[in-house]
Amino acid sequence: MNFDLTQEQQQIQKLARTFAENELAPGVLERDANSEFPMEAFKKFGGMGMYGIPYPKAFGGQGGSYLSYILGVEEVSKIDGAFGISFSVNTSLYGGSVMYSSATDEQKKRFLAPIASGAAVGSFGLTEHTAGSDAAGQQTVATPDGDGYVLNGTKIFNTNGPFADYTVVYCLMDPSIGTKSMAAFVLEKGMPGFTVGRLEDKMGIRSAQVSEMHLDNVRVSADRMIAKPGEGFKLAMKVLDGGRIGVAAQGLGIAKGAFEIARKYLMEREQFGKPLCKQQYLAFKMAELQTEIEKAELLLYKAAICKEEGKPHSVPAAMAKMTCTDTAMRVTTECVQMLGGNGYMKGYHVERMMRDAKITQIYEGTNEIQRLVISGQLFR
Ligand code: CAA
Does 2 map to a domain? no
129 and 245 housed in the same domain: no
Atom of ligand 1 nearest to the CA of 160: 53
Distance 162 CA to ligand 1 centre (A): 25
- For 135, the enclosing helix (H) or strand (E) is none
228 alpha-carbon distance from chain centroid: 25
Dihedral sign, Cα of residue 356, residue 237, residue 163, residue 24: positive
127 and 184 housed in the same domain: yes
Which CA distances in Å does 311 have to 53, 67, 162, 243, 375?
19, 14, 35, 16, 19
Does 362 map to a domain? yes
Distance 366 CA to ligand 1 centre (A): 12
Q: Is 136 in the pocket of ligand 1 (CB under 6 A)?
A: yes
Q: What is the pLDDT of residue 2?
A: 86
- Residue ID of nearest Cα to ligand 1 atom 11: 234
The residue among 321, 304, 238, 245 whose CA lies nearest residue 65 is: 304
194 and 60 housed in the same domain: no
147 and 213 housed in the same domain: yes
186 and 308 housed in the same domain: no
Q: Is 369 in the pocket of ligand 1 (CB under 6 A)?
A: yes
Q: Is 150 in the pocket of ligand 1 (CB under 6 A)?
A: no
Q: What is the pLDDT of residue 1?
A: 83
307 and 292 housed in the same domain: yes
Secondary structure (H, E, C), 26-95: CCHHHHHHHCCCCHHHHHHHHHCCHHHCCCCHHHCCCCCCHHHHHHHHHHHHHHCHHHHHHHHHHHHHHH
Distance 179 CA to ligand 1 centre (A): 10
Per DSSP, 163 falls in state: G
Q: Is 240 in the pocket of ligand 1 (CB under 6 A)?
A: yes
Which CA distances in Å does 161 have to 102, 164, 206, 316, 329?
24, 5, 14, 28, 26
**Measured distance CA(72)–CA(284) in Å, rounded:** 30
Mean pLDDT by 10 residues, the chain (380 residues): 93 98 98 98 98 97 97 98 98 98 98 96 98 97 97 98 98 97 98 98 98 98 98 98 98 99 98 98 98 98 98 98 99 98 98 98 98 95
291 and 323 housed in the same domain: yes
Q: Is 128 in the pocket of ligand 1 (CB under 6 A)?
A: no
Distance 268 CA to ligand 1 centre (A): 48
**Are 121 and 93 spatial neighbours (Cβ–Cβ below 8 Å)?**
no
Q: What is the pLDDT of residue 334?
A: 98
Indicate the residue among 96, 116, 136 that finishes a domain. 116
110 and 180 housed in the same domain: no
Residue type at 288 in one-letter notation: E
Q: What is the pLDDT of residue 380?
A: 85
Q: Which of 37, 234, 235, 241 to mutate to test ligand 1, by most ligand atoms within 8 A of the CB atom?
A: 234
188 and 277 housed in the same domain: no
Q: Which residues are catalytic?
A: 364
Q: What is the CATH number of the domain that holds 311?
A: 1.20.140.10
- Residue ID of nearest Cα to ligand 1 atom 16: 234
Torsion angles phi and psi, residue 100, rounded to 5: -95, 5
Angle at 201 between CA 196 and CA 126, to 5 degrees: 50
Angle at 6 between CA 3 and CA 10, to 5 degrees: 105
Q: Is 241 in the pocket of ligand 1 (CB under 6 A)?
A: yes
Does 90 map to a domain? yes
Does 198 map to a domain? yes
**Measured distance CA(171)–CA(173) in Å, rounded:** 7
Q: Is 365 in the pocket of ligand 1 (CB under 6 A)?
A: yes
Residue type at 171 in one-letter notation: C
Indicate the residue among 231, 247, 269 that finishes a domain. 231
Does 110 map to a domain? yes
Atom of ligand 1 nearest to the CA of 241: 7
Does 150 map to a domain? yes
- Residue ID of nearest Cα to ligand 1 atom 46: 364
3-state DSSP call for residue 158?
Answer: strand
Q: Which pairs count as long-range contacts for 338-341, CB under 8 Å and 24+ apart, including other chains?
A: 338/262, 338/265, 338/266, 338/276, 338/282, 338/285, 338/286, 339/261, 339/262, 339/265
196 and 237 housed in the same domain: no
165 and 61 housed in the same domain: no
Distance 24 CA to ligand 1 centre (A): 34
- pTM higher than 0.95 for the full model? yes
Indicate the residue among 116, 132, 147 that finishes a domain. 116
**Measured distance CA(193)–CA(220) in Å, rounded:** 10
For 215, counting Cβ atoms within 10 Å of its Cβ (0-12 exposed, 13-18 middle, 19+ buried), the class is buried
227 and 238 housed in the same domain: no
Does 17 map to a domain? yes
Does 158 map to a domain? yes
Angle at 153 between CA 150 and CA 159, to 5 degrees: 115
Distance 192 CA to ligand 1 centre (A): 30
Distance 134 CA to ligand 1 centre (A): 8
Q: What is the CATH number of the domain that holds 92?
A: 1.10.540.10
Q: Is 72 in the pocket of ligand 1 (CB under 6 A)?
A: no
Q: What is the CATH number of the domain that holds 192?
A: 2.40.110.10
Question: What domain count does the chain have?
Answer: 3
Q: Is 211 in the pocket of ligand 1 (CB under 6 A)?
A: no
Alpha-helical segments (H) within the chain: 7-19, 28-34, 39-47, 66-79, 81-88, 96-99, 105-116, 232-268, 280-308, 314-338, 340-343, 350-360, 367-378
The residue among 170, 137, 151, 160 whose CA lies nearest residue 211 is: 160
Domain extent at residue 214: 122-231
Q: What is the pLDDT of residue 304?
A: 98
Atom of ligand 1 nearest to the CA of 234: 3
